[in-house]
Chains A and B, each alone.
Chain A
Amino acid sequence: MATAIEVRGVSKHFRLYHEQFTSLKERMLHWGKVPYEDFWALRDVELEIQEGQTFGLLGHNGSGKSTLLKCTAGIIQPTSGEIMTRGRVAALLELGAGFQPAMSGRENIYLNASLLGMSRKYVDSCFDDIVAFAELEQFIDNQVKYYSSGMYVRLGFAVAVHMDPDILIVDEVLAVGDELFQRKCFDRVRQFQREGRTIVVVTHSPDLVRQVCDKAAVLDHGSLVGLGSPAEAVRSYREHLLRRQAYLDAGEMTDMLTLAQADPPSDSSPEADEPSSQAGRASVPSHAVHAVRTDPDPSVDDSDSRDRATPAPAGEGTLVVSYVHFEPGHSSGKSYVETGAPMEVVIGYNSTATFRDVVPTVTVYDHKGVVLFTASTKLSPAEIEVTPGSGEIVFSFDSMPLLDGDYPVTVGITSFDDYTVYDWQEQQYTLSVITRSSQTGMIHVPVRITQRNPVVSPAPVGT
């Protein structure tokens, strides 16, 4: 099979000016000393995409995936290296880019089509299809400025998919319109796949990659860090996200430590979880769960700096959670847990006194903060007594039902009557799950699907 896109040693350099001086006066005033930073959006990227492939490009915000896409589409030129594309390229970076509000839908179809390189004659031949696809038969002669945003985007998509591209480049524009229209878009993408067209999708939704791609690459800070099957790429992507998260948290941690005394209960943890949870959750297929503490170094007893509902009672000593592990993830050196596998949540604690009938609690949330499940000794006959020193409390789950994603976890220890909160760490931990299959949704429900043929019709009613 021939190569459709060949990316050869492409680098892209930007100068980030702290201020843009676009007038001559400002230029004169700041002659030769306009402060800027060098920024490499892409570094020596090598990539080959075969004809007929549906290729996913994963990466966090600012990883350079859009820059690579723009270079491939020819919107910007690389600083060095070159990109060869075979065939007509259609880049859907923004639907309806260049629509003229004052012109009618009809005029805009012709203008937009010619912008994408289609001839007027060709548009004439498929004009009705475009209008029908966009579902705008009644409004096609109205000015586009009276269109709703949905109509606008539909028209843009309709024009783009009718331009008969050999290579279709899509930048997260598939999530447009209502459900019916989305289905239509996906059908069109599948049709393109069947027709052997090459498709490049840029996204930070691993779910989309699993759903439509044959192969995927992961970009991180402008470099290619992963390449392979969708599942492999998604795993590599998640691992990079987690590493990045740990790095960010490490920075945040120091800030929090200094602020801790002045402002103890800050509800700051959700922010920290945001980037990773966004990415993982939108897509929810199958998970392997990894467990990573938001706090990078569990050995440091920094629990005082974290949020607590109520500080531990004074006088009788303290009981604090010193670390939380998700097994087998951590014990096997992995940072995630797999869907369907057994899982243990290990809570390490330090105590300076004896506490009777303490209630440890583990609560897992989804990214919106909705509680998915809670486990504690409150409802179970088990009674836990803590003696001075350190120890571990283990929650064992037979099977981890969650699918792909990062789930915030709250861990706390209270007294049975709830009057005393020894330690409460609200959403301080993250349960990362990786799913090997391409299941979608949030939970894994084992299923068997069979077919009955012919359908046994119910016995005729009556005599």
Chain B
Amino acid sequence: MVAPTELPARGTDTEVTSRGGDRPLRVVAPKISLRKRAQAVWAYRELLGEMTRKELTVQYKNSILGFLWSMLNPAINLVVYFVVFQLILKNGVPRFAIYLMCGTLVWNFFSMGVSGACGSIVGNSPIIKKVAFPREIPALAQIGSALTQMGFQTIVLVVFLLAFRSGPAVAYLPLLIPAMLALVLLASAIGILFAALNVKLRDVGYLLGIGLQVWFWGTPIVYTYAQIRDPIQFGHSHYLWLFVLYRLNPVTPIVLTFQRAIYSVTSPKGAGGVAVHILPDHAGLWWYGWQLLAVIGFASALLIFALTVFANREGNFAEQL
């Protein structure tokens, strides 16, 4: 019980100050336009930073190696792929470690971001239920956290490039900007869509896990693009429709761009001086550029769709969790 000590009672205070100034009007209604939602996310951009930081620090708190663990998993995968494809299957790709890293750099971000975002609403249910803030933020924070980890993996990649004395294709480096844009848009779109669906139906999360696994092997990361394309060019045209299907994978152009820019060569000389086909020889900047533009267009449309689905379901998140 709190006994008020001072004599002036409620209502008798004379020094009530008027809080002047324009204050933003906020409307809570069944439907809120996409533009308003985008503005809200922008207004809360600092929260995005804080939550990203949280994701990064909380995960490896109380572990001695800490953040290194986040590097260990991709590193082990890299070693396994190297042993299996280079040493056992003898694919003969020169500087295979660097080739692998170009693809896994993209993929690790994509898969971590998407699966992280998918579980973000459910994982943050305590705050979703009690605090009002744009619900897209936890999903985007997962993308941000994956992006940071990608940054660290890039450092490792640079170290490898130096060790192998292998330089990037400078002319293609600017392409990495639209490639990153496409990648972030795509991961955000899929992540936000699945985050919304996962609230009501937890199966979605498991399905996504399986889907990502299949998707990984459907992208030229551990094998080369040429290994898929060349047989088709040289006669097996009845597999053409399958190749078309394969090319619909929006991650492929992004991975190809990274490989072209960083691995830098299309048909390097392998063992015994024989050229190994890896990327299309005659494809220029625009070959990559057009594809990236298409992916950016597709990812933007998907993002708008995802945000719409998200907005329709968001009002019930606090109840369904």
A-chain residues with CB within 8 Å of residue B318 when the two chains form the complex:
70, 75-76
Is A201 at the interface (CB under 8 A from chain B)?
Answer: no
Q: Contacting A23 at CB < 8 Å: which of B16, B23, B43, B203?
A: B203
Flag if A22 contacts B28 (CB, 8 Å).
Answer: no
B-chain residues with CB within 8 Å of residue A351 when the two chains form the complex:
none
A405 CA / B73 CA spacing, docked (Å): 64
Flag if B26 contacts A74 (CB, 8 Å).
Answer: yes
Nearest A residue to B130 by beta-carbon distance?
A97
Please classify the interface of chain A as helix (H, G, I), strand (E, B), loop, or mixed, using the class held by over half of its residues.
Answer: mixed
Is A87 at the interface (CB under 8 A from chain B)?
Answer: yes
A79 CA / B126 CA spacing, docked (Å): 23
Flag if B19 contacts A166 (CB, 8 Å).
Answer: yes
A-chain residues with CB within 8 Å of residue B19 when the two chains form the complex:
51-52, 87, 166, 195-197
| Known contacts A80-B30, A214-B11, A74 near B132 by CB under 8 Å | yes
Flag if B10 contacts A91 (CB, 8 Å).
Answer: no
Is B44 at the interface (CB under 8 A from chain A)?
Answer: yes
Flag if B30 contacts A196 (CB, 8 Å).
Answer: no
Flag if A97 contacts B28 (CB, 8 Å).
Answer: no
Could you give, for residues 122-159 of chain A, a 1 whenever the CB lies within 8 Å of some chain B CB and a 0 otherwise?
A: 00000000000000000000010000000000000000
Flag if B27 contacts A82 (CB, 8 Å).
Answer: yes
Please classify the interface of chain B as helix (H, G, I), strand (E, B), loop, or mixed, using the class held by over half of its residues.
Answer: loop
Q: Looking at the complex, which of B47-55, B106-114, B167-175, B301-309 is the stretch in contact with chain A? A: B47-55
Number of interface residues of A (CB under 8 A): 64
Is B76 at the interface (CB under 8 A from chain A)?
Answer: no
Is B281 at the interface (CB under 8 A from chain A)?
Answer: no
Q: How far is the CB of B25 from chain A (nearest CB, A)?
A: 5
Q: Looking at the complex, which of A113-121, A270-278, A383-391 is the stretch in contact with chain B? A: A113-121
A84 CA / B30 CA spacing, docked (Å): 12
A-chain residues with CB within 8 Å of residue B13 when the two chains form the complex:
193-194
Is A102 at the interface (CB under 8 A from chain B)?
Answer: yes
Flag if A87 contacts B17 (CB, 8 Å).
Answer: no
Flag if A98 contacts B27 (CB, 8 Å).
Answer: no
A51 CA / B201 CA spacing, docked (Å): 42
Is B233 at the interface (CB under 8 A from chain A)?
Answer: no
For chain B, which range describes its interface: under 10, 10 to 19, 20 to 34, or 35 or more residues? 35 or more
| Known contacts A86-B23, A111-B51, A97 near B18 by CB under 8 Å | no
Is A179 at the interface (CB under 8 A from chain B)?
Answer: yes
Is B131 at the interface (CB under 8 A from chain A)?
Answer: yes
A-chain residues with CB within 8 Å of residue B50 when the two chains form the complex:
110-111, 114-115, 120
Flag if B11 contacts A79 (CB, 8 Å).
Answer: no
| Known contacts A76-B319, A110-B50, A98 near B130 by CB under 8 Å | yes
A160 CA / B30 CA spacing, docked (Å): 27
Flag if B28 contacts A98 (CB, 8 Å).
Answer: no
A143 CA / B4 CA spacing, docked (Å): 35
B-chain residues with CB within 8 Å of residue A197 when the two chains form the complex:
19
A10-67 contacts to B, CB under 8 A, are: 14, 22-25, 27, 51-52, 54
Flag if B133 contacts A117 (CB, 8 Å).
Answer: yes
Could you give, for residues 124-161 of chain B, a 1 whenever the CB lies within 8 Å of some chain A CB and a 0 otherwise?
A: 10110111110000000000000000000000000000
A395-430 contacts to B, CB under 8 A, are: none
Flag if B46 contacts A114 (CB, 8 Å).
Answer: yes
Is A161 at the interface (CB under 8 A from chain B)?
Answer: no
Is B269 at the interface (CB under 8 A from chain A)?
Answer: no
Flag if A85 contacts B10 (CB, 8 Å).
Answer: no
Flag if A27 contacts B201 (CB, 8 Å).
Answer: yes
A214 CA / B9 CA spacing, docked (Å): 11
Q: How far is the CB of B134 from chain A (nearest CB, A)?
A: 10
Is A83 at the interface (CB under 8 A from chain B)?
Answer: yes
A211 CA / B57 CA spacing, docked (Å): 44
Is A246 at the interface (CB under 8 A from chain B)?
Answer: no
A-chain residues with CB within 8 Å of residue B10 when the two chains form the complex:
54, 193, 211-214
Flag if B28 contacts A72 (CB, 8 Å).
Answer: yes
Q: How far is the CB of A13 from chain B (nearest CB, A)?
A: 10
A-chain residues with CB within 8 Å of residue B15 when the two chains form the complex:
194
Flag if B127 contacts A115 (CB, 8 Å).
Answer: yes
Flag if A94 contacts B61 (CB, 8 Å).
Answer: no
A186 CA / B1 CA spacing, docked (Å): 10
Nearest B residue to A97 by beta-carbon distance?
B130
Q: How far is the CB of A50 from chain B (nearest CB, A)?
A: 12
| Known contacts A24-B203, A93-B130, A84 near B47 by CB under 8 Å | no
Flag if B319 contacts A14 (CB, 8 Å).
Answer: yes
Is B58 at the interface (CB under 8 A from chain A)?
Answer: yes
A-chain residues with CB within 8 Å of residue B131 when the two chains form the complex:
75, 91, 93, 97-98, 115-116
Flag if A75 contacts B130 (CB, 8 Å).
Answer: yes
B-chain residues with CB within 8 Å of residue A75 when the two chains form the complex:
129-132, 318
B-chain residues with CB within 8 Å of residue A81 when the two chains form the complex:
29
Is B247 at the interface (CB under 8 A from chain A)?
Answer: no
Could you give, for residues 284-318 of chain B, a 1 whenever the CB lies within 8 Å of some chain A CB and a 0 otherwise?
A: 00000000000000000000000000000011101
B184-232 contacts to A, CB under 8 A, are: 200-203
Is A89 at the interface (CB under 8 A from chain B)?
Answer: yes
Q: Contacting B24 at CB < 8 Å: which of A22, A70, A87?
A: A87
A-chain residues with CB within 8 Å of residue B43 when the two chains form the complex:
117
Is A100 at the interface (CB under 8 A from chain B)?
Answer: yes
A70 CA / B133 CA spacing, docked (Å): 12
Contact sample, A vs B, 21 pairs, CB 8 Å cutoff: A14-B319, A71-B28, A74-B26, A77-B32, A79-B30, A83-B27, A83-B29, A84-B27, A85-B26, A91-B130, A91-B131, A103-B58, A110-B50, A111-B53, A117-B47, A179-B1, A179-B2, A186-B2, A194-B13, A196-B19, A214-B10
A-B complex: 4 closest residue pairs judged by Cβ atoms: A77-B315, A87-B23, A98-B127, A97-B130
